[in-house]
Structure 1
Amino acid sequence: MSGQKLNVLVLPGYQNSGTGHWQTLWEALDPGFVRVQMPDWDHPTRDAWCRTLDAAVAAAASPVVFAAHSLGCLTTAFWASQYASASQLAKVAGALLVAVPDPSEAHFPQDASGFSPVPLARLPFASIVVSSSDDPYGGVPFSQTCASAWGSRWIDIGPRGHINADSGLGDWDEGRRWLASLDERR
């Protein structure tokens, strides 16, 4: 990584990330990883989540990298395309976007509102979309469409479910390497 300390904003999805989730394990390993505490994990609304992310970016020291999972990925895309100012965007070195959910899928949480249609504009920072071939919340074609539209590198890690605690990734060294590679692109 570059000589400047990297600040990682951890963006969990719907219902937050529990104890065995790679996001939680990353936070335990490095104090530079800070979870963005959303106002309501069980009834997410796009506006509230994007405004919360905006405040977290404003409060963070530069540079910032996002470690987003599931609904955190959609929050990142909406924030970048509809909420963030140019000065806020300039603070972001990149985003690791893991298990992008498709709002049109049957498994998408009915308690989440405002996350459709997904913005398909190029992200103004480096990004990597990580997908699983058997994710019940978002299929490979959807994640490829998002990655292409967002200008992201796309990685398929095979059949790993929703790439969460149930996927058995532990602290997921490979994911941390991809996250670190985003800082090297600056």
Structure 2
Amino acid sequence: MTAKDYQYLIVPGWNGSPENHWQSFWQVQLNARRVEQQNWSLPEVSAWLSQLEYMIASSTAPVILIAHSLGCITVAHWAMQASRFLRSKIQGALLVAPADVERANCPEALQGFAPISLQALPFPSIVVGSLNDPAASAERAAQLAQAWRSEYVQLGEVGHINVASGHHQWQEGFHYLQHLIDMADKRFASIA
């Protein structure tokens, strides 16, 4: 397969991804679809999972998930409860700056997503973390990556990898996406 053969699905986190967020830029660059939620500011686990499932089920090509923050936790929860058929549609997941919804200072609006699913993801995945992410310590991001059996990339002191930390287009992130695509291609070739 090639990068053009995949359907890219953008999975934003809490409060969505504004126009100047890298996920919005990538959506245009990749001709991706976005998982839209009814309520971005007061997220509800079941509603977010239902919307993600709907978008995956309606995809007509193999799917690459591109998640940020609470979107990463949504993906982990979804993978734990989704049907084998729908999980098989996912060829890979790029999980950027996962939000630790179990941390002591977690906003109340996000606490309904705890506990975080620690089940291994049934598809290739890469977790991208930061040394100074206010939503998750570097140690916690590494723990999540290990539990999910994801490759872990730690970028240094780059914040939450969002607009507030200066990540508008995040061109360097395409390197990690390409690496994920290569992983997905190898997996697909091995089972074809």
Task: Using structure 1 for the length normalisation, give the TM-score.
Answer: 0.93
Q: Which amino acid aligns with 1:85?
A: S
Which one is further off, 18-27 or 175-184? 175-184
* CA deviation map 1:150-169 (0-9, x unaligned): 01000111111111012223
Number of aligned pairs? 184
Q: 2:20 is matched with which residue?
A: 20
Whole-Å Cα distance in 1 between the matches of residues 133 and 48 of structure 2?
Answer: 23
CA contact (8 A) 2:101 2:110 kept: no
In structure 2, C-alpha distance between the alignment counterparts of 1:29 and 1:107, rounded to whole Å: 35
Structure 2 contact 11–68 (Cα < 8 Å) conserved: yes
Displacement, 1:113?
Answer: 4.7
Partner of 1:8: 8
Alignment of 1:144 with 2:138, yes or no, is: no
Query: Which residue type is aligned with residue 22 of structure 2?
Result: W
The structure-2 alpha-carbon separation of the partners of 1:20 and 1:106, relative to structure 1 and needing over 3 Å to count, comes to farther
Q: Which one is further off, 14-23 or 172-181?
A: 172-181
Give the superposition deviation at 1:136: 0.6
**Contact preservation (8 Å) 2:63, 2:90:** yes
Structure 1 runs (4+) greater than 3 angstroms displaced? none
Please, which runs of 5 or more residues in structure 2 have no aligned partner? Answer: 186-192
The structure with the greater share of residues assigned to helix is: 2
Q: Are 2:186 and 1:159 aligned?
A: no
Counterpart CA distance in 2 for 1:66 and 1:109 is 25
Contact 2:12 2:68 in 1 (8 A): yes
Cα-Cα RMSD? 1.5
How many angstroms does 1:176 deviate by? 1.6
**Per-residue deviation at 1:46?**
1.0
Q: Deviation of residue 105 (structure 1)? A: 2.4
